[in-house]
Structure 1
Amino acid sequence: MNRKEFEAVLKQPPNIRYEYFIKKVSDYEEIWGLYDDGWATADDGEGNKCIPFFPNQEFAQNCAVEEWSGFKPESIDLYEFIEEWLSGMKEDKLKVSIFPNNSDTAIVEVDILLRDLHTELEKYD
């Protein structure tokens, strides 16, 4: 991805970045998070803990600043994410922060993300 495309995607509103995320992670069958002796977390502003996820390494690296400055992008297999991560996050009452860009993010419930991923992946069968 060239710099111009990278910056154009980052400038999109959270709902458009969410749609981009769903399509890209379904295409490449991987999700990216930030890791440093544990996964990066954030607060959604309402006291709920969430974990940020990104559609590729470059977007994750872009958010490895401020409180996440020591974190490194790590990939997660999409099917492992669906089968293990999301059920664990739901159990732990964690929300999902999809594709933050250092100014805003799409915060979604696990069930909504799961539904949207399954809907997108059905197109690949």
Structure 2
Amino acid sequence: MTAEQNEREKIASSDAEQRFDYLISRVVETDELWILTDEQGSVMLNTDDEDCVPVWPDQAFAEQWATGEWSECEAMPITLKQWNFRWTPGLEEDGFAVIVFPLAGEDGDENGLVVWPEELDMMLTREVKRARKK
């Protein structure tokens, strides 16, 4: 197993909070986050309380989700700028939440942290500013 595979397995076995932190750091590093799309647009997930757009830190993690009923979906990058100026206001306006870095596990574990788009936007903006000060 390569170091990268080992790292990816470690991340995949992390809890929702740790995956949230990982996504934030990756987006700061790469300036993009990933969604899955199909012919209708972005894939949506439903929690008990919210309709959510799932986001992932990279293409590979997004594509891991694209199985079964989502096997026709494609991973699509969204730049941080697009996220800040188009996606956050659009999701807020439509009343959608964001589910951060859900995993497709054998047990059907889809647990990612559910946050409001503005909350994710604020975290990303804060971390980008912090990273640029270094």
TM-score (norm 2): 0.88
Partner SS for 2:42: coil
Equivalent positions of 1:14-25 (< 5 A) are 14-25=16-27
Opposite residue 48 of structure 2, the aligned amino acid is G
Shift of 1:77: 1.0
Opposite residue 21 of structure 1, the aligned amino acid is L
Partner SS for 2:76: strand
Shift of 1:70: 1.2
* Equivalent in the alignment of 1:7: 9
Shift of 1:20: 0.5
TM-score (norm 1): 0.94
- CA–CA distance in structure 2, aligned partners of residues 88 and 3 of structure 1: 35
* Equivalent in the alignment of 1:32: 34
Shift of 1:27: 0.8
1:109 aligns with 2:123: no
Partner SS for 1:73: strand
- CA–CA distance in structure 2, aligned partners of residues 93 and 83 of structure 1: 16
Count of residue pairs the alignment pairs up: 124
Identity %: 27
* Equivalent in the alignment of 2:125: 118
Shift of 1:8: 0.8
Partner SS for 2:54: strand
- CA–CA distance in structure 2, aligned partners of residues 36 and 111 of structure 1: 25
- CA–CA distance in structure 1, aligned partners of residues 23 and 33 of structure 2: 9
Opposite residue 65 of structure 2, the aligned amino acid is C
Which of these two proteins has the greater Rg computed from alpha carbons? 2
Gaps of 5+ in 2: none
Q: Choose the corresponding residue for 1:44, options 42, 47, 58.
A: 47
Opposite residue 85 of structure 1, the aligned amino acid is W
| CA root-mean-square deviation | 1.2
1:4-33 CA-to-partner distances (Å, cap 9, x unmatched) read 111110110000100000110111001111
Gaps of 5+ in 1: none
- CA–CA distance in structure 1, aligned partners of residues 70 and 97 of structure 2: 18
